[in-house]
């Protein structure tokens, strides 16, 4: 099997799974309980806060554990909007965000908030000048993803942070679900106030994730209950999930330090091999995130290619996994003004550190054979 759909989800790491099982068995106490089992769980929870805070170079109190990217993005966006609505009701994001960002903004519009959706250029990158022009006195939130999930383009997070750093009541949220562990992002140096990370995108487990919340930033909680996590996220903490997330984060950051060059080499190899096929048009610009390449085969339905590859044991995707069953046309590719025949024929390859050059060769050979067969069938 060749798995090239790592932006949808990744295979859980064996060490992460072992950690989850071990903690589930030994630390099943409720961290809020006063007896020893509860105290043991609480102690392990505190260690996880400390461990992850060191990995992110932030304070333990700046971490909120969530169930993943969707919850983290919803908590950041709705939490800021509801907490600071007395300061203003204007929000800014881009037109190519993940649905877990775009849909909370649309929900807030129904509550009376006004949202500016910034366009992107033909590379899928937002203009900092456009952002400056969109800012208003009543703008309370700017949310821009770090790495686009379909194209792999990298947004100018640090430059945006520089623009926003002196605006006391305009908060900066970054959806870092696709970027973490693949493309470096210094949260403090980029003046990021909130950042979302998901466990299952980094060989952790589904249902795990976190939101970085800079000290001094308030959030209106999505969940009210027992007041866990300093009243920011009520609900009994999933100790095993949290500890496994810490393990997954440490392992992926080690990979980023030691193997990101290999990932870039894999990206370059795939580009070179795809360029050998005259029917293929690569949509992802050069020098973007190392793990995502989007390309089109105009004249061919991507679902047919996808399933033909699957019959050969190769797994890819047509667009974002959260949108792949809804529409034939990618809204991200429409936003960068690709012609219809490219928008309707796109495939996405997303690597992990486990993929190899040999897998790229086998994939390209299979793709060439499938295109040849389909052309013969069309005659």
Q: Considering the domain 2-7+259-378 in this protein, what is its CATH number?
A: 3.90.1150.10
Q: Which two tokens stand for residue 169?
A: 């009541």
- Please identify every stretch of the chain with a pLDDT value under 70, giving residue numbers as ranges: 319-328
Class of domain 14-251: alpha beta
pLDDT score recorded for residue 325: 54
CB burial of 47-64 (b: ≥16 within 10 Å; e: otherwise) equals: ebbebbbeebebeeebbb
322 is catalytic: yes
pLDDT score recorded for residue 327: 52
CA angle 9, 14, 20 (to 5 degrees): 90
| Beta bridge mates, 347 | 295
pLDDT score recorded for residue 369: 97
Active-site annotation holder among 207, 322, 354, 368: 322
Q: Which two tokens stand for residue 202?
A: 């980094």
pLDDT score recorded for residue 102: 97
- 140 and 169 in contact (C-beta within 8 Å)? yes
pLDDT score recorded for residue 378: 78
Q: Report how far residue 73's alpha carbon sits from residue 163's, in angstroms, rounded to the nearest whole number.
A: 22
Q: Where are the domains of the chain?
A: 2-7+259-378, 14-251
Compute CA distances 115 → 69, 118, 218, whole Å. 21, 9, 20
pLDDT score recorded for residue 330: 83
Compute CA distances 144 → 99, 120, 211, 264, 273, whole Å. 13, 11, 15, 24, 32
Q: Report how far residue 108's alpha carbon sits from residue 95's, in angstroms, rounded to the nearest whole number.
A: 16
């Amino acid at each position: 099997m060749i798995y090239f759909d790592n932006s949808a989800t990744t295979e859980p790491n064996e060490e992460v799974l072992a950690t989850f099982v071990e903690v589930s068995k030994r630390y099943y106490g409720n961290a809020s309980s006063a007896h020893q089992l509860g105290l043991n769980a609480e102690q392990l929870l505190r260690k996880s806060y400390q461990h992850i805070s060191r990995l992110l170079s932030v304070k333990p109190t700046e971490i909120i554990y969530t169930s993943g990217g969707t919850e983290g993005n919803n908590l950041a966006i709705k939490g800021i909007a509801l907490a600071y609505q007395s300061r203003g009701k204007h929000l800014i994001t881009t037109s190519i965000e993940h649905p877990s960002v775009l849909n909370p903004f649309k929900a807030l519009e129904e509550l009376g908030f006004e949202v500016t959706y910034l366009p992107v250029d033909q590379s899928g990158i937002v203009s900092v000048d456009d952002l400056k022009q969109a800012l208003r006195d009543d703008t309370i939130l700017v949310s821009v993803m770090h790495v686009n999930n379909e194209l792999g383009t990298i947004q100018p997070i640090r430059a945006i942070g520089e623009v926003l750093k002196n605006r006391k009541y305009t908060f900066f949220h970054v959806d870092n679900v696709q970027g973490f562990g693949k493309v470096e992002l210094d949260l403090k140096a980029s003046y990021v106030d909130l950042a979302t990370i998901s466990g299952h995108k980094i060989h952790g487990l589904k249902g795990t994730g976190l939101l970085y919340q800079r000290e001094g930033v308030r959030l209106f909680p999505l969940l009210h209950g027992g007041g866990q996590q300093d009243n920011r996220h009520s609900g009994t903490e999933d100790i095993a999930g949290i500890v496994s997330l810490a393990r997954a984060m440490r392992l992926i950051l080690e990979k980023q330090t030691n193997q990101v060059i290999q990932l870039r080499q894999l990206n370059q190899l795939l580009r070179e091999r795809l360029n050998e096929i005259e029917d293929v048009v690569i949509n992802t610009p050069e020098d973007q995130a190392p793990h995502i390449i989007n390309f089109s085969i105009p004249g061919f339905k991507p679902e047919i290619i996808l399933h033909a590859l699957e019959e050969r044991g190769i797994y890819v995707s047509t667009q974002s996994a959260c949108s792949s069953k809804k529409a034939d046309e990618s809204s991200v590719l429409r936003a960068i003004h690709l012609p219809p025949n490219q928008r309707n024929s796109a495939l996405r390859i997303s690597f992990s550190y486990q993929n190899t050059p040999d897998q790229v060769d086998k994939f390209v050979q299979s793709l060439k054979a499938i295109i040849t067969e389909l052309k013969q069938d069309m005659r």
